């Protein structure tokens, strides 16, 4: 009888990186130290011409593991990503992978040692799923960006993205850093390399349109290192909103209500300010709406922390995130329509 381990499907795990010297060691180590049998998975590191020591750190990490484990070898390949963008890197990894399943994690993330094992177990159990994933815990290196990580992991901050907070195993509209059936890419195509952001939203919409299903199991967990300053959070929010508009122009069905709400919020603010010149009553309406937003910010902040300074600042951060996101969408829509 064949060894049970030999019957497990072969998995390709990918990290796409560029100038990630601060994070690559932790991210790569988390894949190297998986409980999944070493001969049943490979690791692909796709580097976008890093000009820091990302690749050197990755190679030293591999060397340290092999030396510590009696020169035990691990199946790792380095690939080049000359376009230096995520979508291109993911596509290079998928096309050069040997696995029946492919899973990608961000260089800004790390996974527990049972991540691949749990993903495969769920995939083999939920046979009609084309992609399975778990729940992301947002964190930061050090205390500096804790409030930002709380905002970006709150339903009030990022909407109903169930991979941020769900405690229920269920079919969902999308998962993050999931395990995919590799053959799905042959059916629907690969990540759109013309999109600098939201490539996964676009691809997942195509998969759903073909009847593909996504499944989330909260027993599968991973940690993502979010932006660690309010300024970088605002910048990221603006860019995400901007690319939502571009994606909407390409495929309106790819976006859900959570992607549109910040735009409606910003339009409401602008509308109340302008129409308030005609009727000052609308300025009072705007004031009430903003106060209610801040109150909700306090409520959701209390769900994350009891630290007084965070409870004071997080409501403002929620508002700044929503305004920057909505402004990015609005400005991009105007720019697109102007072409």
* Cα separation values, 15 from 40, 50, 80, 86, 151, Å: 17, 13, 12, 10, 25
Burial of 165 (0-12, 13-18, 19+ CB in 10 A): middle
Q: 3-state SS of 77-118?
A: EEEECCCCCHHHHHHHHHHCCCCCEEEEEECCEECCCCHHHH
pLDDT tens-digit readout, 257-287: 888 899 999 999 999 999 999 999 999 999 9
Neighbouring C-beta atoms of residue 125, cutoff 10 Å: 12
In angstroms, the first-to-last Cα distance of the chain is 65
- Grade residue 339 by pLDDT with cuts at 50, 70 and 90: very low
Handedness of CA 73, 74, 75, 76 (dihedral sign): negative
DSSP conformation letters of 223-288: EEE--SSHHHHHHHHHHHHHHHHHHHHH-GGG--HHHHHHHHHHHHHHHHHHHTTT-THHHHHHHH
To the question of pTM greater than 0.85 for the whole model, the response is: no
- Grade residue 1 by pLDDT with cuts at 50, 70 and 90: very low
> What pLDDT score does 119 carry?
96
- Grade residue 69 by pLDDT with cuts at 50, 70 and 90: confident
Average confidence (pLDDT) over 211-240: 90
Which residue's structure tokens are 């920057």? 324
Neighbouring C-beta atoms of residue 12, cutoff 10 Å: 23
Average confidence (pLDDT) over 100-125: 94
- Grade residue 254 by pLDDT with cuts at 50, 70 and 90: confident
Task: Decide if pLDDT at 106 tops 90.
Answer: no
For helices 230-250 and 308-337, what crossing angle results, to 10°? 30
Handedness of CA 141, 145, 150, 152 (dihedral sign): negative
Closest CA to 178 of 221, 226, 134: 134
Helix (H, G, I), strand (E, B) or coil at 212: coil
> What pLDDT score does 6 carry?
60
Q: What is the mean pLDDT of the chain?
A: 89
Confirm if 99 and 10 have CB atoms less than 8 A apart.
Answer: yes
Confirm if 325 and 238 have CB atoms less than 8 A apart.
Answer: yes
Q: How far apart are CA 96 and CA 288, in angstroms?
A: 55
pLDDT tens-digit readout, 122-159: 999 999 999 999 998 877 766 667 898 889 888 888 77
Which contacts (CB < 8 Å, 24+ apart) does range 120-124 have? Answer: 120/8, 120/9, 120/11, 120/36, 120/179, 122/215, 122/217, 122/219, 122/220, 123/179, 123/181, 124/9
Burial of 173 (0-12, 13-18, 19+ CB in 10 A): middle
pLDDT tens-digit readout, 187-219: 999 999 988 888 888 999 999 999 999 999 999
pLDDT tens-digit readout, 292-310: 999 999 999 999 899 999 9
Question: 28 is written with which tokens?
Answer: 């790569």
């Amino acid at each position: 009888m064949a060894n049970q381990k030999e019957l497990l499907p072969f998995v390709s795990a990918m990290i796409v990186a560029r100038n990630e010297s601060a994070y690559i060691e932790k991210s790569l180590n988390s894949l190297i130290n998986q409980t999944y049998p070493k001969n049943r998975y490979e690791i692909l590191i796709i580097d976008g011409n890093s000009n820091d020591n990302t690749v050197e750190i990755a190679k030293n990490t591999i060397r340290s593991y092999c030396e510590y484990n009696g020169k035990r070898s691990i199946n790792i390949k380095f690939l080049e990503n000359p376009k230096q963008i995520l979508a291109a890197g993911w596509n290079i990894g998928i096309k050069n992978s040997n696995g029946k399943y492919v899973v990608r994690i961000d260089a800004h993330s790390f996974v527990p040692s049972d991540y691949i094992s749990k993903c495969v177990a769920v995939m083999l159990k939920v046979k009609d799923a084309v992609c399975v994933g778990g729940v992301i815990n947002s964190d930061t290196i050090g205390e500096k960006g804790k409030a930002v990580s709380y905002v970006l992991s709150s339903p009030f901050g990022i909407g109903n993205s169930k991979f941020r907070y769900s405690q229920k195993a269920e079919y969902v509209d999308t998962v993050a850093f999931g395990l995919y059936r590799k053959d799905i890419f042959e059916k629907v195509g690969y990540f759109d390399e013309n999109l600098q952001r939201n490539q996964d939203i676009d691809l997942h919409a195509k998969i759903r349109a073909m009847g593909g299903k996504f499944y989330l199991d909260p027993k599968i967990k991973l940690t993502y290192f979010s932006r660690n300053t309010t300024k970088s959070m605002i910048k990221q929010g603006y860019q995400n909103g901007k690319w939502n508009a571009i994606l909407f122009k390409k495929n309106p069905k790819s976006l859900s209500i959570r992607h549109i709400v910040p735009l409606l919020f910003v339009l409401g603010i602008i509308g109340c300010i302008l129409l308030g010149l005609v009727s000052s009553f609308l300025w009072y309406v705007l004031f009430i709406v903003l106060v209610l937003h801040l109150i909700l910010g306090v409520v959701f902040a209390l769900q994350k922390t009891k630290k007084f300074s965070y409870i004071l600042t997080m409501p403002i951060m929620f508002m700044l995130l929503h305004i920057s996101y909505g402004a990015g969408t609005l400005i991009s829509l105007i720019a697109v329509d102007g072409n």
